[in-house]
Amino acid sequence: MSASPESGPDRPAYAGMFDLSGRDALVLGAGSGIGREAAIALAAFGARVTCADINLDAASQTAALAGQQAALAASGAGATAIELDLLDETAVEAAAAQHPDTDILVFTAATNVRKRILDYSAAEASRVTDLNLRGPFGLLRAFGARMVARGRGSVIGFTSIRAATTEPGQAMYAATKAGLVQLLRTAAAEWGPAGVRVNLIAPGVVETPLTRQIQDAPQWYAAYADKTVLGRWAQPGELAGAVVYLASDAASYVTGSVLTVDGGWTAADGRFTPPA
């Protein structure tokens, strides 16, 4: 006789699988855009959030907003702010030492120089590579070492659809975002046995300071909106749910993955809609 569904292994408490109470999160890039919304959302679900950014005033504003969300959700955890430069290896190591119990690490900081390859300077290429790839490498080493030692943790990095599909003027940005995917996948492979999960989120077009140049050009903005199957750009808060998911027990068996949140950009060609 087959066993009844109720006789199987203990099931997780589904109603609380997104509950982050008692967990410490650090969000680098929390001063604006996706990082700000990620920090606020994590606080709303109960995490104690450290809002880190090179701009301390902006990080402090995010911490205040996150604290308000925590109060509304009655999580009681709240948020604090620190100044942190991703490219300052000493400061990154110090932050990791000061926050040794970080359970959730989220980083969104990135830059882009929109130029064609033959117009790029070596200095510009280095600037994009440093912030988008070298900085995250140091961040992973500093915080990842402590997560591995403790046997738990969730790392969430932000790549881009440009890691998979690119266009003229996106050479270094696309290359670094593709490199970030492989860097974090390798971390997932190396740290999985220790109980540390590592994943990425790949946004499409999002209205953030990084895309201001496109937002200010109506034809360019409309073309990008039309490329999505939803016909619009994303707001930063629409990425927050993906962060909470990957940070939570709902994603307990998810690691080494890239979660695409692009409004269907990469699902359809978009150049022509056939009549039938």
The pLDDT tens digits for 172-202 are 999 999 999 999 999 999 999 999 999 999 9
Contact present, 25 and 247 (Cβ < 8 Å)? yes
Burial annotation 155-164 (CB, 10 A radius, 16+ → b, else e) = bbbbbbbbbb
Contact present, 11 and 37 (Cβ < 8 Å)? no
Residue 215, number of CB atoms within 10 A of its CB: 15
Supply the range of the domain harboring residue 216.
19-267
Is a pLDDT exceeding 50 seen at residue 205? yes
The reply to whether 2 falls in a domain is no
The reply to whether 111 falls in a domain is yes
**Residue with tokens 């990791």, as numbered in its chain:** 96
What are the tokens at 71?
A: 């109060």
Which of 14, 173, 221, 245 is the catalytic position?
173
The reply to whether 7 falls in a domain is no
CATH of the domain at 256: 3.40.50.720
What are the tokens at 152?
A: 């738990």
pLDDT bin (cut points 50, 70, 90) of residue 169 is: very high
What is the number of domains present in the chain?
1
Is 224 a residue of the active site? no
- Give the integer Cα–Cα distance in Å for 140 and 184: 9
The pLDDT tens digits for 110-166 are 999 999 999 999 999 999 999 999 999 999 999 999 999 999 999 999 999 999 999
The reply to whether 8 falls in a domain is no
Phi/psi for 100 (5° steps) reads -70, -15
Q: How far apart are the first and last CA of the chain?
A: 51
The reply to whether 275 falls in a domain is no
